Amino acid sequence: MSPGKLAADRLAPARVAGALRRRVRRRLGIGPRRPAGWVAGPPDFVGVGAQRAGTKWWYRLVCDHPTVEPAPGKEMHFFDEFCSRELAAKDVHAYHRLFPRRQGALTGEWTPRYMHDFWTPPLLAQAAPEARILVLLRDPWDRYLSGLAHEERVLRRELRRRRGPYLTAMVAGDALNRSLYHRQVVRLLENFDRSQVLFLQYEGCVRDPAAELRRTYEFLGLEDVTHVPATLTAKTGRSSARPDLPAAVREVAGRMITEDAHKVGELLPEIDLSLWPSLRTPPPSTSRDPARAAGVAS
């Protein structure tokens, strides 16, 4: 086992404990502690997608800028529970308390499922109407396989139990829906002005990270857009093997993804479909997930 893997394994319990503490404080309406002179308020930016598309890497680069203050956690998942209850004024205030920052600094979060959950964009627009919205998209077929492998890894224990086939079917449907970007983008643009949303491609960020990061800094209104983080090309993430899909599943999923991706290309001219290899060739059945092997973040 590599030293990096050993270090990551040692840090895992601390990360889980930290996430649990943040969740408890959030449910109690307690904002994070902040130094004297800091203020809390609506996030200046919110990343909303997509899962398994390099968002951890890109959020870290955004927060490396000297005038950006990282949030207490990259993914707040604040709106998850509002699929079953109303968002009240006190909830909006609780969300704002999660974002302390020093005077003159920007802050924000990046929860990849916000774009996927149909109830979240209107709630986010209600809670943070002026926020800049960041979307990072990845080749939808690669994202589908990576997301499928990720969910199966997270739910490995549950999938081995009696209701394993039922959960497996749910995971498969969720992974595919997350790769059907068109409806998610339309829903997002129904709630935010087009000028408030920046669409990036993971493949473009890998090809020229400095140029895409400068574009991100400019979109956020940061002054020193020439800032270059020392970790510019140090992507994070775990490599995972692609699931071995049945031919019929591969054919149907590939067709749905291809049709949807072309709709995205028509809706968003800035998205370069030629950067997505799966649209040039039939989706492969199995092999190593190339982007995850290179370290794509969640």
Convert the pLDDT of each residue in 249-296 to its tens digit. Answer: 999 999 999 999 999 999 999 999 999 999 987 665 544 444 444 455
Q: With H, G, I as helix, E, B as strand and everything else as coil, classify residue 124.
A: helix
Q: Determine the average pLDDT of the residues in 129-139.
A: 98
DSSP-derived secondary structure letter, 33: P
Q: What is the pLDDT of residue 162?
A: 67
Q: Average pLDDT, whole number, for the chain?
A: 88
Output helix, strand, coil percentages for the chain, rounded to the nearest 5. 50, 10, 40
Which amino acid is residue 10, in one-letter code? R
What pTM was computed for the model? 0.85
Tokens of residue 297, six digits: 């973040």
Residues 6+ apart with CB under 8 A from 234: 57, 295
Fold of the domain spanning 45-293: Rossmann fold (3.40.50)
Domain parsing of the chain, residue ranges: 1-30, 45-293
> Taking the CB of residue 157, how many other CB atoms lie within 10 A of it?
8
Is residue 120's pLDDT more than 90? yes
* Model pLDDT for residues 74-108, shown as the tens digit of each residue: 999 999 999 999 999 999 999 999 999 999 999 99
Q: What is the pLDDT of residue 1?
A: 47
Q: Residue 117: which of 217, 60, 184, 72 has the closest Cα?
A: 184
